[in-house]
Chain A
């Protein structure tokens, strides 16, 4: 995370460093909470009509924002942390469901990190790839758990839909990212070195 604040004066240095080191922690925590809340909210909605096993994956908004603002480590904390926390809250932890969700999240975060290093792609592209990887990861985990490759039949149409859902999620994430970055730029412009 680049937070190279232009110092107004030397004595602000200490406060600036404190801010620079606490901001990633605060940002990551807020995004993790957001991911959990969005995940729980979406889990409480009725399933999609034609493909009840697929969801929009709105909690990935928080992961994409984390990747853009805090890099791969923050994205991993938000992406994997969300699955662990929500599984703890719903009692699904260390069940097959948890194994599938965690595999999906790990695939998704890894893929988004790789794709985010490709020039010319915006968070919309990252999110689409992450969404596709999430579905592929889940289907692989499901096939392993079931000991039969039968479920993989559903994977290609699911991936195609997931890519579209991912693009929607990515564009939502993109508007959040640009707002936060604008805000941070304005703060630096005003020379603010302490949280308001």
Chain B
């Protein structure tokens, strides 16, 4: 079913407006700025303001952590089910990436409290 010409213009304008507003909102928002990495060998704090990559020694192997554009993700982990890798990148305060078999938990620190809910 084809769109009308009006639809094309309208949809394009909406997408453009959303993308134009993005940088404005992104700088105003308060994403978490440090991540707390808890592993079997202790706890360390990592800044999210600078990109970095490091390896955390876990119980059964290594966990490769990537900090990029203010988000944290687990690139690679020596666990069987890879839940941490599939969690993807997190940046909101309170959000976490956990590799349970390795005993490694990465939590974003920040003031905001986040509900984690699904809307039906």
Q: Give which listed residue, B11, B25, B26, B111, contacts A163 with CB less than 8 A.
A: B11
**B113 and A43: CB pair below 8 A?**
no
**B18 and A152: CB pair below 8 A?**
no
**B118 and A150: CB pair below 8 A?**
no
Contact with A along B31-67 (1 / 0, CB 8 A): 1000000000000000000000000000000000000
In the bound assembly, the distance between CA atoms of A170 and B10 in angstroms comes to 13
Residues of A within 8 A of B30 (CB): 148-150
A171 to chain B, nearest CB (A): 5
A87 to chain B, nearest CB (A): 7
Contact with B along A111-127 (1 / 0, CB 8 A): 00001001111101100
**A87 and B120: CB pair below 8 A?**
yes
Instruction: Count chain B CB atoms within 10 A of each CB in A43, A125, A157 and give the residue with the most.
Output: A125
In the bound assembly, the distance between CA atoms of A57 and B109 in angstroms comes to 32
In the bound assembly, the distance between CA atoms of A178 and B2 in angstroms comes to 12
In the bound assembly, the distance between CA atoms of A82 and B4 in angstroms comes to 29
Q: Is A13 part of the contact surface with B, judged by Cβ < 8 Å?
A: no
In the bound assembly, the distance between CA atoms of A156 and B18 in angstroms comes to 5
Q: Which residues of chain A from 110 to 154 have any CB-CB distance to chain B below 8 Å in the complex?
A: 115, 118-122, 124-125, 128-129, 132, 138, 142, 145-154
Q: Is A67 part of the contact surface with B, judged by Cβ < 8 Å?
A: no
**Main SS of chain A's interface residues?**
helix
Q: Which residues of chain B from 76 to 120 have any CB-CB distance to chain A below 8 Å in the complex?
A: 88, 92-93, 110-115, 117-120
Total A-B pairs in contact (CB under 8 Å)?
122
**B115 and A142: CB pair below 8 A?**
yes
A43 to chain B, nearest CB (A): 5
Q: Give which listed residue, B15, B88, B92, B119, contacts A138 with CB less than 8 A.
A: B119
A42 to chain B, nearest CB (A): 9
Residues of A within 8 A of B14 (CB): 128-129, 132, 159-160, 163
Residues of A within 8 A of B15 (CB): 160, 163-164
Residue of A nearest to B87 (CB): A52
Residues of B within 8 A of A155 (CB): 25
Q: Is A175 part of the contact surface with B, judged by Cβ < 8 Å?
A: yes
Q: Is A9 part of the contact surface with B, judged by Cβ < 8 Å?
A: no
Q: Is A92 part of the contact surface with B, judged by Cβ < 8 Å?
A: yes
Taking A86-B120, A146-B112 as known contacts, 17 extra A-B pairs with beta carbons closer than 8 A to each other, sorted by chain A number, are A47-B118, A49-B88, A97-B120, A120-B4, A122-B3, A125-B3, A125-B11, A146-B114, A148-B113, A150-B30, A156-B19, A156-B22, A157-B22, A160-B19, A167-B3, A167-B7, A170-B7
